[in-house]
Amino acid sequence: MAINITWFGHACFLIETNGAKLLIDPFITGNPLAPVPADAIEADYILVSHGHGDHLGDTVDIAKRTNATVISNFEIQNWFVKQGLENVHPQHIGGGFNYPWGRVKLTIAQHGSALPDGTYGGNPCGFLFYIEGKKIYHACDTGLFFDMKLIGEEGIDLAILPIGDNFTMGPDDALRAVKLIEPGYVIPIHYNTFDVIKQDPNAWADKVKEETSAKVALMKPGDVFKL
Ligand code: NI
Ligand code: MN
């Protein structure tokens, strides 16, 4: 069965698999590109990569409404519990856990992670999903790092990479990331949400096609990619 992967703009995806809805970095309210309002989104699990507002987003509201299990690092979990969330599952970098729908491992990310009120949010992370025999790497917010090669050694079917520059990898480093990871497919994200991260995804896709064997899936917010 295909895994349905919907992009809600920026770094937010909904992965539907094995009867579970996995929502990643739900920045909907305040996201000018979000195709739906936050209260229209259902989730069984919400994964939060780091404490910045454009990733933490609507997590608390959606989790309270849906009773979704929130997966994040230990420091962010402690903060969620203080916001009144009870259904939380802390993990940390390098650690994987087998959920009923599959496995997720937290990967390193080179970035920051303070929470909106200034609370220390631990280290930011990316996510490596093992679902229905497929491997999906969502790098979340990060600069280029050589250990992406180690992640690529696992055999990545789909890599989701930021290309926006300024806060994360830009197009050139994201192209180098594709060369390190060697994924089957790549989806560029974290661009054009704000003026400082304006990029041309078509130009980037052309370079990836020229210089790597990865297939680029260019999405518009609201589009569904089937893996
Ligand atoms: Ni960030
Ligand atoms: Mn961000």
Contact 172, 162 (CB under 8 A): no
The token pair that represents 149 in the structure block: 């090669």
Give the ligand at the shortest distance from the Cα of 194.
2
Question: pLDDT at position 121, please?
Answer: 98
Helix H segments across 59-125? 59-66, 74-82
Secondary structure class of 84 (helix, strand, coil): coil
Ordered domains of the chain (ranges, CATH): 4-219 (3.60.15.10)
Ligand 1 mean position, distance from CA 1 (Å): 33
Ligand 1 mean position, distance from CA 52 (Å): 5
Give the ligand at the shortest distance from the Cα of 109.
1
Question: pLDDT at position 1, please?
Answer: 75
Question: pLDDT at position 18, please?
Answer: 83
Secondary structure class of 196 (helix, strand, coil): helix
Residues 138-162: pLDDT tens digits?
999 999 999 999 999 999 999 999 9
How big is the CA angle at 101 (ends 128 and 53), to the nearest 5 degrees? 50
Residues 50-109: pLDDT tens digits?
999 999 999 999 999 999 999 999 999 999 999 999 999 999 999 999 999 999 999 999
Tell me the mean pLDDT in the region 212-225.
98
Q: How far apart are CA 78 and CA 88, in angstroms?
A: 9
Secondary structure class of 190 (helix, strand, coil): coil
Residues 10-64: pLDDT tens digits?
999 999 998 899 999 999 999 999 999 999 999 999 999 999 999 999 999 999 9
pLDDT of 122 above 80:
yes
Ligand 1 mean position, distance from CA 167 (Å): 7
Q: How far apart are CA 215 and CA 14, in angstroms?
A: 21
Secondary structure class of 23 (helix, strand, coil): strand
Residues 155-195: pLDDT tens digits?
999 999 999 999 999 999 999 999 999 999 999 999 999 99
Ligand 1 mean position, distance from CA 222 (Å): 22
CA nearest 52: which of 135, 128, 117, 134?
117
pTM of the model: 0.98
How big is the CA angle at 126 (ends 121 and 128), to the nearest 5 degrees? 140
Is the dihedral angle over the CA atoms 161, 167, 169, 170 positive or is it negative? positive
Confidence band for 7, pLDDT divided at 50, 70 and 90:
very high
Ligand 2 mean position, distance from CA 169 (Å): 11
